[in-house]
Structure 1
Amino acid sequence: MNPVLQAALATWEWRPSVLAVTFLAAAIYAAGWIGLRRQGRIRLAAWWRLAAYLLGLALLLAALLSFIDVYGALLLFMHMVQHVLLLMLVPVLLLWANPFPVLLYGLPVAARRAVIRFLRPEARFRRETRRLTHPGALYALYIGAIVLWHDTGLYNLAQGNGLIHDLEHITFFVAGMLFWWPVMGAAPRIHHPTSLAGRMAVLLLCVPPHVVIGALLSFVENPVYEHYLTVPRLWGMDVMQDQRLAGIIMWIPTGMMYIAGVVILLARHLNQAARRLGSGLDRNGVEAT
């Protein structure tokens, strides 16, 4: 086996708390998915939804337990890869699967009824949740988490304290899930539907903060985070090369992902409009040429 690959595989840290939560989420989803399939509700329990959900959980485990996390303590660019996974790729995959109905169906009946009771239109919990999770507030939380945890003092503190580092990861994942929730249109749909223009705008507004942080890391002449001056260097990469690569990841690929999201939203909208137009023509007995 390739020595680099062997070393990467050997660095996996099987943390019981992370494994327990992840496997519980997988088990509840699997139970709900199988139950819905048996009920013939194929649209909610499609194979592609199962694949997206499980891939999201797999990437979550990779971000938190694999060499990505271990090397993130030694290489800034690897830490940025971890942030991209927790803030973007994992939440998008999980929410693309629209997991809430499936997870709900996977719960015991008593727990399912309790959740439904909390989410009824007249329920106070639903009203307060809707008020606290306005899309504008979720955008502020998302960008605020990114800016806050890239502050030099807090970043260095997190690298030296395991509990604070775990809090950073939890903050990124929760902020990512909340931000992408209305953008993806996933259930539970307790807000008024965000317009296409609104969803596109909020994605585009995510680009400038990433550009600023990425440019700062790429173009400053001195190391931004003292932590990386105190750890061994890997792969012949010095501190500034590592920092510039981290800045490029924060700047270009991340920004392109938001722009890709805008393109996908627009393409889906045009496709749905074409379908509605086509069905309207069919109902009127008009053949398109």
Structure 2
Amino acid sequence: MNLLYWLEPWEPSPTVVIAIVVAAVLFVRGQRKARVSMARRFSFWLGLAGLYVALHTRLDYFFEHEFFMHRAQHLVLHHLGPFFIALAYPGAALRAGIPFAWRQRFVRPALAARPVRAVVDVVMHPVVAVVLFVGLIYFWLLSPIHFMAMLDWRLYRVMNWSMVIDGLMFWWLVLDSRPAPPARLSPGRRVLVVIAAIPPQIVLGAFIFFSPRELYPIYSICGRAFTWLSPLRDQQIGGLLLWIPGSMMSVIGAVLALRHWMRLSARARLREERVGTTPVAARHDGDTVGKSTGESGAATAKSGA
């Protein structure tokens, strides 16, 4: 067996192929116009490759037949892949990759539509973003829901795509390096948002790790890929993957968001600094002008008298 064998899809999905190819083509077309650095290019391709491997290779068989492999898959789909894509800040390159006529005719009107803006405003709200990010993990790990998702291939794909889309939205929101506006959240709020997502992941991972009974019997029913691994040991490894690497990704995200905050503050690009200094300067200039005007008027009146 060679590398090509493992890159073959276990269950072919045209949706995955189209989504990956479209993103790759747009980025390639736009990276020169947007002047994307080599580090950002590497980050984007690393994240995109991670999503492809987790969604459309022969490894999917193991993702469906071992709980800890399933958790490794979702670690890539929800954390690593979207994290590296968002870290590349590919928005400008992806927009530049779309033909100008298409942007004018389709993209801008669609983004400016009220329903679209309303939905984006809701899902990008900091509280909603945290609830969705953590809530989806909890939802798909509810034993009855997880049982059905691993049996029904349609629900299985909905589960995986929901993790990818939510991961992209969350990390795009948190890793935004710009001040607010144009960023949706201020640097301080971005730090708080990612920190708020850490404790629930730790709690759920610890609960799964310390559980004395098998929480996900679907893997025993359908047959396990690694027969030498006991169900409880498999479950414990899966709990650790959620507990430690999943939480550590949030810690790294918080550090990067804090770094952006400090950088913007050092450059006096924070909104509160601009708003806080401008009125003082304007008021000082106004007082000086008023005082000069008053003095000039008094001198004129005195000379006229």
The two structures have a TM-score, normalised by structure 2, of 0.77
**Percentage of matched positions with identical amino acids:** 27
The within-5 A match list for 1:177-192 is 177-185=168-176
Structure 2 SS opposite 1:224 = coil
Structure 1 SS opposite 2:164 = helix
Query: Which residue in the other structure is 2:6 paired with?
Result: 9
Matched, 1:132 2:122: yes
The within-5 A match list for 1:248-259 is 248-259=240-251
Separation (CA, whole Å) in 2 of partners of 1:59 and 1:243: 23
Change (3 A) 1:260 1:131: closer
Provide, for residues 155-184 of structure 1, a one-character-per-residue CA deviation record: whole Å limited to 9, x for no partner. Answer: 011111110000000111111112122211
Query: Which residue in the other structure is 1:31 paired with?
Result: 29
Equivalent pair of 2:77/2:167 in contact (CA under 8 Å): yes
Separation (CA, whole Å) in 1 of partners of 2:13 and 2:110: 32
Provide, for residues 192-220 of structure 1, a one-character-per-residue CA deviation record: whole Å limited to 9, x for no partner. Answer: 64223311221121112211221121111
The within-5 A match list for 1:46-195 is 46-113=37-104, 114-119=106-111, 124=114, 127-133=117-123, 134-185=125-176, 193-195=184-186
1:259 alignment partner AA: V
Matched, 1:243 2:252: no
Q: Which has the larger radius of gyration?
A: 2
User: What are the ranges of 5 or more consecutive residues in structure 2 without an aligned counterpart?
Assistant: 270-305
2:87 alignment partner AA: W
Change (3 A) 1:94 1:156: same
Provide, for residues 83-135 of structure 1, a one-character-per-residue CA deviation record: whole Å limited to 9, x for no partner. Answer: 11111111111112222221111112221113234445xx5356424532322
In the alignment of these two chains, the number of paired residues is 264
Equivalent pair of 1:126/1:190 in contact (CA under 8 Å): no
Separation (CA, whole Å) in 2 of partners of 1:147 and 1:267: 30
More moved, 252-261 vs 161-170: 252-261
Equivalent pair of 1:130/1:191 in contact (CA under 8 Å): no
Equivalent pair of 1:130/1:190 in contact (CA under 8 Å): no
Matched, 1:270 2:255: no
User: What are the ranges of 5 or more consecutive residues in structure 1 without an aligned counterpart?
Assistant: 278-289
